[in-house]
Amino acid sequence: MTIPLNSNGHRRRQLRARVLAEQTHCALCGQRVDKTLKTEPGKHYKKCTNTNCQGCLPHPMRPEVDEDIPRAKGGSPLQRDNCNLMHRTCNQRKGTMTLAEARKQHAETATQATAQRTPVKASPIW
């Protein structure tokens, strides 16, 4: 059964509130999620014409509720066991992958970054 993107907004808002209340860490990176972040102060969309705007671009580390199995692959946005808390950037990086696929890719990327670091050598002057 495919659920349209905007159907049953009330149920989705209830589920989002429940996930925000129950979880504290990002399902992908494992870091704590600051639930108070909303927008980046002083950063605006290109078409922002509001002179009193304090900032309207979403903060990259703000909390988002994401589906483990994405809607694009048949996952339900209304089932609690399919939804997790994530940072906005982690959610964007995950895209239409399942959480397991995204975790595997995240671990590989972290391993490659560690392998590419050059060791710090002590200065002979010290």
Q: What angle do CA 3, 9, 14 make, to 5 degrees?
A: 110
- More reliable by pLDDT, 92 or 125: 92
SS3 5: coil
The pTM (predicted TM-score) of the whole model is 0.76
Sign of CA dihedral 84, 29, 93, 40: positive
pLDDT attached to residue 34: 95
pLDDT attached to residue 81: 94
- More reliable by pLDDT, 108 or 10: 10
Tell me the domain boundaries of the chain: 29-105
Could you read off the pLDDT of 36-95 as tens digits, one per residue?
Answer: 999 988 888 888 888 888 888 899 999 999 999 988 888 999 999 999 999 999 999 999
CB 89 within 8 A of CB 60: yes
Measured in whole angstroms, the distance separating CA 120 from the mean position of its chain's CA atoms is: 33
